[in-house]
Amino acid sequence: MNLTVDGRQVFAYSAAHQLDAARPTVVFLHGAGLDHSWFGLQSRYFGYHGRNVLALDLPGHGRSEGPPFASIEAAADWVPKVLDGFGLGKAALVGHSMGSLIALECAARHPARVERIALIGVAYPMKVSEAFLDAARRNEQEAFDMSTIWGHAAQVPLGANPNPGMWLYGDTLARLARLAPGVLHNDLKACNDYAAGLQSAARVKCPALLLLGRLDVMTPPKAAAPLAQSIAGSRTVLIGSSGHSLMAEAPDAVLDALIEFLA
Amino acid sequence: MAAPKYPAFDTLALHAGQSPDAATGSRAVPIYATTSYVFRDSEHAASLFNMERAGHVYSRISNPTVAVLEERVAALEGGVGAIATASGQAALHLALATLLDAGQHVVASNSLYGGSHNLLGYTLRRFGIETTFVSPREPRNFERAIRANTRLLFGETLGNPGLDVLDIPAVAGIAHAAGLPLLVDSTFTTPYLMKPFELGADLLYHSATKFLGGHGVAIGGVLVDSGRFDWEKSGKFPQLTAPYAGFHDMDFEEESGTRAFLLRARREGLRDFGACMAPMTAFHILQGVETLHLRMPRHVDNARKLAAFLAAQPTVESVGYPELPSHPDHALAKRLLPRGAGAVFSFNLKGGRPAGRAFIEALRVFSHLANVGDAKSLVIHPASTTHYRMSDEDLKRAGIGAGTVRLSVGLEDAQDLIDDLGRALGAAKKVAQ
């Protein structure tokens, strides 16, 4: 479903359900260069299990009008406006990678609107190498290759994927190929520039889950430790078989962890 | 962090899509000869049916052995995924039935495998889908034939029977300018010789019966999606971008983005048409895929030697192989097929039908049958077999001569094959005199 926020059209996948302000809401926030369908199985589950689901295309991604947000803070301030637009109050935020930083920052800045946060594939600081940023700035294929290869566990191309018949590398590359020039660089730079992580983490008062892939080379589990220590009462779940693309590499483990956390 | 590097083609051919079996440690791909899969509980069952969890429910829709083949071929082609089917024809039908409704139209190359021509020209016409056939030699022919109701452009990477090389970059450009996808039959080239997605094609399929399987032991097909065609942006495919009552009002594009085509093809096409691949077949074809990178260079090398030999024989009128300068698509083949123009080609014998029959009957190594892409060398004389009832004039219209012989060059010793051809040419010459 579509909504206009700040004069720009925003798309939200709702799992084919009408929204109902009386129901709990889950907002899904995707990572750099991706879109709402990155949460396909998980968002669908909650839409069919009594939740309002808003799996958002962030501005400049998927079906949402650009330009993309230049900072994590700007995106974090936008999320409550989306809730307002749909007539919804509080929500649980589930973010992946860049989306996890948006969820974290939103929980710190807008505590009245955020019930809990699940941070998937998170790290702080979320530093991006100069080589990656440069390639993305030039919109070179090499940037998409880095995003694809580092975005999955090393064994992914040499093993089976849980979704029958799909090739995860090809799927990621196809998604990145649809991006407008500059969007991936914008997203990576926003992650790289985000400097408020620990202060914001200390301000988070809602329940928080960190969902990490043991084989993640882009945001390795040890890089999430400062955040985990700074968010009071946070819980960390380590998924042994996954790299950075947890929703695709380990969809059932991610869903099970979210079901337990959002119960 | 280590510099990013993709596994090479040879490695993917052996490993993509399969982890050692979690239950047994089996290194080879296990043959999951099962129709169905036990649910953990009612909640798990409901989640699988409603596509909230990944997994298998019923082997018509997906099967673990078949999924290995699907993922492996998708990896070799650079697609988002694949669906294995009962045959190459089933793969073509699945693609067409997923994208087209009655009242819509295809622009297809007229250089097609006969079965594909029949499906498009006769069978689908009965169901309200029309096709205009055009010569692929001039890409603008595709553009001129596009109508308001056209939904697909289609051709073979190497066409039948003249091995016309499809100018994929040009035809894809025409298709995309019209908001349409390009589907190619990549059977003769395999991903080893050509990657159609890198050239601009959006969808492709293989008769896996041929070079992918490579040993003439199993019938199968594989349909692959590049995931690059933007169905939403095109605006011509409500089949993928609007709620569909036939599948719980799902909007496939909204649901899955890059996976929309394969999602509908699997969830509707395999469910309703049912032309799925059996796990034993997938296993057989996988054995071939694992050596594709070793077999194809040898197929091509042998084909080159045989084409050169035949081109030098006085009893041979012409040889239609794109690597020869005499072929009309020679320059295009050099550009699009730098690793070789495949291992199937035709040549014309002097002496018409009698010479053709004598030639075939004198061969000892080549097998006379109706197939291509086997490890063993194969031969057929269309005028005395597949096109037996046609007059010489009708044959000519189909691009076939009375003395046309088609070879599928196998992996035997090249000199043995040349000797076999030489002996048969001698027999043909006696009849022709």
Relative to beta strand B316-320, strand B221-225 is: unpaired
> Does the beta-carbon distance from A164 to B62 stay under 8 Å?
yes
Average of pLDDT values for A9-21?
A: 95
pLDDT on residue B432: 77
A160 touches chain B (CB under 8 A): yes
Between residues 66 and 125 of chain A, which touch chain B (CB distance below 8 Å)? none
In tens digits, chain B (433 residues) has pLDDT values of 667 899 999 999 999 999 999 889 999 999 999 999 999 999 999 999 999 999 999 999 999 999 999 999 999 999 999 999 999 999 999 999 999 999 999 999 999 998 999 999 999 999 999 999 999 999 999 999 999 999 999 999 999 888 999 999 999 999 999 999 999 999 999 999 999 999 999 999 999 999 999 999 999 999 999 999 999 999 999 999 999 999 889 999 999 999 999 999 999 999 999 999 999 999 999 999 999 999 999 999 999 999 999 999 999 999 999 999 999 999 999 999 999 999 999 999 999 889 999 999 999 999 999 999 999 999 998 888 877 777 777 777 777 888 899 999 999 999 999 999 999 999 999 987 7
How many contacts (CB atoms, under 8 Å) link A and B? Answer: 147
Q: Among partner residues A41, A165, A177, which is closest to B53 by beta-carbon distance?
A: A41
> Does the beta-carbon distance from A16 to B74 stay under 8 Å?
no
Quote the CA–CA distance of A172 and B83 in Å, as a whole number.
Answer: 18
For A44-96, how does the pLDDT look when each residue is reduced to its tens digit (9 = 90+)?
Answer: 999 999 999 999 999 999 999 999 999 999 999 999 999 999 999 999 999 99
pLDDT on residue B1: 67
Quote the CA–CA distance of B155 and B165 in Å, as a whole number.
Answer: 10
What strand order describes the sheet that includes A91-96? A2-5, A8-13, A52-56, A25-29, A91-96, A114-120, A208-213, A235-239
Between residues 205 and 244 of chain B, which touch chain A (CB distance below 8 Å)? 226-228, 230, 232, 243
pLDDT on residue B420: 98
For A154-165, how does the pLDDT look when each residue is reduced to its tens digit (9 = 90+)?
Answer: 999 998 999 999
Reduced to 3 states (helix: H, G, I; strand: E, B; else coil), residue B371 is coil
> Does the beta-carbon distance from B75 to A169 stay under 8 Å?
yes
Quote the CA–CA distance of B42 and B58 in Å, as a whole number.
Answer: 16
Q: Where are the domains of chain A?
A: 2-262
pLDDT on residue B386: 75
For A171-211, how does the pLDDT look when each residue is reduced to its tens digit (9 = 90+)?
Answer: 999 999 999 999 999 999 999 999 999 999 999 999 999 99
> Does the beta-carbon distance from A44 to B257 stay under 8 Å?
no
* Spatial CB neighbours of B281, under 8 Å, sequence gap ≥ 6: B218, B219, B220
Quote the CA–CA distance of B390 and B394 in Å, as a whole number.
Answer: 6
> Does the beta-carbon distance from A167 to B258 stay under 8 Å?
no
Indicate yes or no: pTM above 0.90: yes
> Does the beta-carbon distance from A170 to B74 stay under 8 Å?
yes
Quote the CA–CA distance of B276 and B67 in Å, as a whole number.
Answer: 11
B290 touches chain A (CB under 8 A): no
Helices and strands per DSSP (H, E), number in chain A = 11, 8
**For domain A2-262, is the CATH number 3.40.50.1820?**
yes
The CA distance from A259 to the nearest CA of chain B, in Å, is: 12
Cβ-based contacts of A174 with chain B (< 8 Å): 80, 226-228, 258
The CA distance from A3 to the nearest CA of chain B, in Å, is: 15
Helices and strands per DSSP (H, E), number in chain B = 21, 12
On the CB side of B413, how many CA atoms lie within 13 Å of its CA?
4
> Does the beta-carbon distance from A160 to B67 stay under 8 Å?
yes
The CA distance from A156 to the nearest CA of chain B, in Å, is: 8
> Does the beta-carbon distance from A162 to B82 stay under 8 Å?
no
For A209-259, how does the pLDDT look when each residue is reduced to its tens digit (9 = 90+)?
Answer: 999 999 999 999 999 999 999 999 999 999 999 999 999 999 999 999 999
